[in-house]
Chains A and B, each alone.
Chain A
Amino acid sequence: MAVRKPPVTTREYWAPGHAACAGCGCAIALRLATKAFSEAMEEKYGDPNAFAIAQATGCMEVVSAVFPYTAWKVPWVHVAFENAAAAASGIEAAWKKKGIKGKILAIGGDGGTADIGLQALSGMLERWHNVVYLMYDNEAYMNTGIQRSSSTPYGAWTTTSPPGKYSIGEDKPKKWVALIAAAHQVPYVATASIGNPFDFIKKVKKAAKVDGPAFIQVHCTCPTGWRTPLEKGVEIARLAIETGIWPLFEIEYGDIWNIKIQPPGGGAKVHKEGGRVVRIEFKKPIEEYLKLQGRFKHLFKRPEAIEELRNQIKAMWKVLGVEAILPKPEE
């Protein structure tokens, strides 16, 4: 009887027993990322352990390293909130001088990456350090209790973007750090999601194997901050892909003209011209994604806000060179 090879190594680097909330999507992302990373290191250097982590302050840091305990089976360093990329630069430089073969994985949330850590990230990318930066994007400052970040999507409730008589909730479009990273023309930039773990594993391995810097922005759900059922994380993340809210793409050396778009699934029709994706007809309306989450509940009383969000998503796809056709729910 043939045994199917598991999609990624069964070795664990992110041990069970960490203190993340039940149903945490980011914990899934980190577990998969470290597995994929070790597999890539094994393939590239013949040593599955040839990596170390520099991590920014945030949920995943405080839940995994509470003295005297640690969830990390790899060398792991935390310095502060805004400097994971800089700390990773230093570790990478030390490894170079010590002749240690391998790659550094820098990890930060959306707050530590899109906001306070953006400058350090930019420096790390332009200096061409041999580091993969993984931004786990749960779309708000969750560690401090759900405050908006520049990665918070339009219309979302957070404690600092509450809907009210004069407020729709978050009123700015989401900032896409992956595109800012791509502007540095680094070897590899990708978006990923825990809603498509196979794609995510593949991308982490790709990023880990390139020579030079890489950046991955992975969408991960946060039941606590999104006000969602604990067991629905992966399903919700998948709906983000299928409705067009979360694009999956790869950009190599900043070559946006040759952006690789991964098909969203969920019945969406992908049209190509000359090998490029030019149009996607989504089948599922964004409402299917929104309605499962408490953070968007108030939008259903404000149909014009949902329309605005739809327009913003179209505009985001346009930046990627794709015409997105987003259906409305069955009227």
Chain B
Amino acid sequence: MPIRTVMKANEAAAWAAKLAKPKVIAAFPITPSTLVPEKISEFVANGELDAEFIKVESEHSAISALVGAAAAGVRTFTATASQGLALMHEVLFIAAGMRLPIVMAIGNRSLSAPINIWNDWQDSISQRDTGWMQFYAENNQEALDLILLAYKVAEDERVLLPAMVGFDAFILTHTVEPVEIPDQEVVDEFLGEYEPKHAYVDPHRPITQGTLAFPAHYMETRYLVWEAMERAKKVIDEAFAEFEKKFGRKYQKIEEYKTEDADIIFVTMGSLAGTLKEWVDKKREEGYKVGAAKMTVYRPFPVEEIRELAKKTKVLAFIEKNISMGLYGAVFTDASAALINESEKPILLDFIAGLGGRDVTFDQLDEALSIAKKALEEGKVEKPISWIGLRKELL
């Protein structure tokens, strides 16, 4: 029987790791993710989890040790955030290039400077080109579920790529919410044993991993990673379907909320989706034709789903907690690329909000709505990007 209890997202991530039974875990404490390795230490200390827990001296070594362990053919896990994830950056490419299905939990936190421990998505969005799949959780239950799903997809032979699961710093990492812990037997059945055919360090079957590739070979290895990421789209859908059958919770790459007959649809990721849905309820009551959509999978980018969503509305607005300096937010930019050759497309808007842990309030969403409404009325937009919730008196 599944256990219904309450816990923080960090604990949910640790529980997910415990259920997935990784053989090697390597982690370095960093706010807001510290509770994950602490909780895992407890599990290991009490014999509830039979894993080697390497208490590394840095995040760089955490991911490096996991590349070693995954190359040796075992299931692995780590958790980090912010500067820690940035420190891992170069090794993330290596993990993907070596086709190692490492799974990592991210307590999404801003990047310095100024140093700030609170939530935005800049840390993981900045890793979008590394070849890691990216999932974003709306709540603590999703944090647990998506980690299990990440293993399922990452270890699928059609994919064999690493994956990260992000959940918002403090808003989720340190907030207690109801969570259902699934049955170990069902998780075992869902994930199965990980026995890779391509990665092992076996004295009696010596293989060489991590070679140098000349221009004659390098490009194909990159193409194969890209192709695997394309294939992952279908594998993710299959995994979602199987998950729903086994655990009764439904996941979609893009989850829609009151989008039917909407003139304006706001798209976001992570915990902000919860706020957005409540706000949509309120606006609907006030007579506005608005809808919401939550993006659960950011890499591979849900191109088809975005196209379907775009057909349903006149204004498609993205609210995101990251910014690509010199252009727009990353989600908006990627979505625009997905729609670039569509004969008909809605007006696309980008709202930058909630950086460094600033609360995204209904008032701010109203501010976004008024900009979107103006675009809708005029049928065009001068500048697609707006920063909302800025304190003008400080600028």
A contact set with B: CB distance below 8 Å: 47, 49-52, 54, 61-62, 65-68, 70, 72-80, 82-83, 85-98, 100, 102, 119-120, 122-123, 126-127
A93 to chain B, nearest CB (A): 4
Give the residues from 274 to 329 in chain B that come closer than 8 angstroms, CB to CB, to chain A: none
With most chain B CB atoms within 10 A of its CB, the pick from A52, A85, A86, A92 is: A86
CB pair B61–A75 under 8 Å, yes or no, is: no
**Residue among A52, A82, A85, A89 making CB contact with B201, cutoff 8 Å:** A52
Contact B68 A89 (CB under 8 A): yes
What are the residues of chain B within 8 A of A85 when measuring CB–CB? 61
- Of the listed residues A50, A78, A94, the one surrounded by the most CB atoms of chain B closer than 10 A to its CB is A94
Extra A-B contacts (15), CB below 8 Å, given A98-B74, A120-B60? A49-B204, A52-B201, A52-B206, A54-B68, A67-B213, A72-B206, A79-B64, A82-B60, A89-B68, A90-B66, A91-B69, A91-B71, A93-B24, A98-B23, A123-B58
What are 11 A-B pairs with beta-carbon distances under 8 A?
A67-B212, A70-B208, A76-B209, A77-B71, A78-B210, A83-B91, A90-B54, A90-B66, A91-B69, A91-B72, A95-B72
Chain B residues positioned under 8 Å from A95 (CB to CB): 72, 201
Q: Does B223 contact A (CB under 8 A)?
A: no
CB closest chain-B residue, reference A63: B212
**B-chain residues with CB within 8 Å of residue A77 when the two chains form the complex:** 68, 71-72, 201, 209-210
Within residues 68 to 115 of chain B, which ones have a CB less than 8 A from any CB in chain A? 68-74, 76, 90-91, 94
Q: Is the CB of B209 within 8 A of A87?
A: no
Q: Nearest residue in A to B67 (C-beta to C-beta)?
A: A79
Contacts of B52 in A (CB 8 A): 93-94, 96-97
- How many angstroms between the C-alpha atoms of A99 and B74 in the bound complex? 12
Nearest B residue to A91 by beta-carbon distance? B68
Q: How far is the CB of A40 from chain B (nearest CB, A)?
A: 14
- Mark each residue of chain B from 186 to 209: 1 if its CB lies under 8 Å from any CB of chain A, else 0: 000000000000001111111111
A120 is contacted by which of B23, B57, B70, B74 (Cβ under 8 Å)? B57
Known: A66-B214, A72-B206, A76-B208. A119 touches B61 (CB 8 A): yes
Q: Is B181 an interface residue (CB 8 A)?
A: no
- Whether B74 lies near A97 (C-beta < 8 A) is yes
Contact in complex: A70, B57 (CB < 8 Å): no
**Are A78 and B74 within 8 A (Cβ)?**
no
What residues of chain A lie closer than 8 Å to B207, measured between beta carbons?
A: 75-76
Q: Which of B15-32 contact A (CB under 8 A)?
A: 23-24, 26
Contact of B203 among A47, A54, A82 (CB under 8 A): A47
By Cβ-Cβ distance, the 9 closest A-B pairs, closest first, are A90-B68, A90-B65, A123-B57, A94-B72, A78-B210, A83-B64, A87-B68, A86-B64, A90-B69
Q: Which residue on chain A has the smallest CB distance to residue B65?
A: A90
Question: What is the CA–CA distance of A47 and B204 in the complex, to the nearest angstrom?
Answer: 10
Tell whether B55 is near chain A: CB-to-CB under 8 Å: yes
Q: Are A79 and B94 in contact (CB under 8 A)?
A: yes
Question: Which residue of A65, A86, A100 contacts B210 across the interface (Cβ within 8 Å)?
Answer: A65
Contact A119 B58 (CB under 8 A): yes
In the complex the two chains form, is A89's CB within 8 Å of B56's CB?
yes
Quick one: closest B residue to A72, CB to CB? Answer: B208
Q: Does the CB pair B61–A66 fall under 8 Å? A: no
Is B179 close to A, CB under 8 A?
Answer: no
- CB <8 Å contact, A75 and B203: yes
CB distance from A134 to the nearest CB of B (A): 16
- Distance in angstroms from B80 CB to nearest chain A CB is 14
| Closest B residue by C-beta to A47 | B203
Q: Would you call B343 an interface residue if the criterion is a C-beta within 8 Å of the partner chain's C-beta atoms?
A: no
Contact B69 A94 (CB under 8 A): yes
Q: Does B46 contact A (CB under 8 A)?
A: no
C-alpha spacing A65/B201, complex, angstroms:
16
Q: Which of B341-395 contact A (CB under 8 A)?
A: none
Q: Which residue of A lies closest to B216 (CB)?
A: A67
**Contact assessment for A93 and B211 in the assembled complex, using a CB-CB cutoff below 8 Å:** no
Least CB distance, A219 to chain B, in whole angstroms: 26
CB of B330 within 8 Å of the partner chain:
no
Q: How far is the CA of A81 from the CA of B50 in the complex (A)?
A: 31
Q: How far is the CA of A126 from the CA of B58 in the complex (A)?
A: 13
- Is B51 an interface residue, CB under 8 A from the partner? yes
A97 to B58, CA, bound (A): 22
